[in-house]
Structure 1
Amino acid sequence: MKLAYFVHDLADPAVTRRVRMLKAGGAEPVVLGFRRTETAPQEIAGAPAVDLGRTYDARLGHRAKATALAALSSGKWRSLLAGSQVVVARTLEMLAVADAARRTCGLGVDLVYECLDIHRLMLGHGAKSKAMRAVERGLMRRARLLIVSSPAFLDAYFRPYQGVGASLPIQTLLVENKVLELGGPGAAKRPARQAGPPWRIGWMGAIRCRKSLDILTRLAAKRPDLVEVRIHGRPAYTEFDDFEAQVAAAPGVSFLGAYTAADLPAIYGDVHFSWAVDYMEEGLNSSWLLPNRIYESGRYGAVPIALSGVQTGRWLAERGFGVRLDGPDQLETFLDRLTPEAYAQLRSELDAVPLSAFSADEDDCRRLVDAIAGRPAQPVLRTDETGAKAKLVA
């Protein structure tokens, strides 16, 4: 199945993971998108990539202009998109571009909307927010399927704000941000680091939360005997006054740069805990998301730390592992009282969770592509975690 995939950032590692899933599920994607880097990749996971130009974090006006220009010029992709059997758009801005391309290029095929975050602009009561929701609602009326990465996005936004399931008839699909493991499980969970202070916390992925950086650097400066912090990923520098200076000034805090999927076992195996707290859009998107890091840390043996009152904390509680704090003021007390025996128990609870909670395989990829194509879900045989028997999974 040829598939046109419109994305907001060709260089986003999560886009690469999704393209790998689409290919493993039987699709032949061509990827069109903007980029947040100086140069654009020529291909993504073996799929051809088309650069639509550069956009920037926190510059919504520029992105809106770039989106409009891409939509208006979408007819030039007619030959590239010919034969596509479905069009998928990741984020709202790309939904507008994808819908324009679908119509301009004469593609009488389904449109699929993939939403991984709810921007605060979509939740206001002013004219701009209402206009944005109206645009999204109008585009969603032309789509057959809505893909989300957290059930809270449906419960807190798409159902009450956009009428999904009531006035807006669109199918929905939950696809969590799990670690992609094709060809069977890869590296085993790493042996736990030697338990005892200083306790090492890893903050991985999209580094965009100013409050989290303040919490971690202040505690590291106050208690170098108690905590060390390792930061890996891509900082959103627009969210911080001076990210590099703040990290450099805090003893025991290190920023170690970007990483690839191949680095996950090493970077999570190097820490005791994974920081899965986000305040960037506190009470809104930060309360609803399920970040990559909870799946990565669970898969590779770092105990996640989250807030108990948000979706991340509820996800951990339902599976019976992780540290759930009522607030950041509890972090120092928790670590101060933590014993090697108590940490071993936390790690034991993590190890008891099936790997399928953290990782996706070929069967998951096929189900995703079937849903995107509008095909009925097929039951599959999956081997259990021990490999001893197979069970039927819907």
Structure 2
Amino acid sequence: MISDDKLHLLLHLTRVPGLGPTRIRSLFSSMQSISQLKRCRTDHLAANPVIGPKYAADLTVFPVDEEIHNQLIRQVDDTGGWILPFWDERFPASLNRLSGMPTHLFGLGDPSALSAVSMAVVGTRIPTPYGKLAAEKLTTGLVQAGLTIVSGFARGIDTVAHQSCLAAGGTTVAVLGSGLGQIYPPENQPLVDDVCRTGCVITEYPPDSPPDARHFPDRNRIIAGLSLGTLVVEAADRGGALITAAMALDMNREVFAVPGDIFQPRAVGTNRLIQNGQAKLVITAQDILQELPGFSGSGPRQPLPPPPDLTLFEAAIYDQLSSTPVHVDVLADLVDRTTGDLLIQLLTMEFKGLVRQLPGKYFIRMG
């Protein structure tokens, strides 16, 4: 069971109204336990320039309830999780360097993932097939370059980023807007175990905290703070992904965006980021890597392997496909075959890894 006098002090201080993370951190330079706080005189606390008379008075009168702390610790234990305070060497240094960041994190999995070189991948909860494919391909490229992927575990692009990272053999960090006992969205519960095999799931909220709209902007600041940069894949003119991008810019982090269809409402936000010079237009993972410290991104790109020997029919289909999804009826017209004959051949080509079917009977070329 988690237990530590210093941790109990931290949990108590986070309950004091208005104290905030900066003041809490400053208090730990002069005390390490609740008993020390109880013995501390109000005038001594007030002499701390970060605390001042107002908060010194609040600290001395706010009731200490260690049973509340013990109950919280038991809840975390019941989830199989941990509490990571800001002084722990595994607590991300990038968060400690930024103001307004949480003084502790609740988590599942391997906390060492929080110290890895990371890139955030975020976007709309209702992506198009193009957005899903872009998130998958770019995430895979970033993982192959050795980056850990950070995202918000939401439906849509966030989930695609986590899944694509794991499929590529990478490590991912999921930042929740709820507690560890209230995984959201619920259909992602099985994904928690997959994430935790090499990475972790974290939150600043106690285990019994339900998802709340007010939590998600706070979650987004952690996503941005953990990462060297933020990649936005499809975003409407408002939403959480744009909030994350704005926070990353405020932290002097890089922001990248995938250009989208000008007639697609879910691409308005990303296109505007590019248009306003707030984000770099991204086509490949190399476009991101060359902007990151320690990643030159300037080496020659390896050519894709040529496809295996194709029949004339397969070659005709392959030549008409690209990374842009094409509907089967349109493709049938292009190759002058019936839709039924084409679907049979496309199934064979999918088994060979030459094409991929997207929802709605759209197809793209692989490789």
TM-score range (shorter-chain normalised) is 0.3 to 0.5
TM-score by length of 1: 0.34
* Larger RCO of the pair (alpha carbons < 8 Å, separation 6+): 1
Query: Per residue, is there more strand in 1 or in 2?
Result: 1
Under a length normalisation based on structure 2, what TM-score does the superposition of the two structures give? 0.36
Question: Which structure would you say has the larger Rg?
Answer: 2
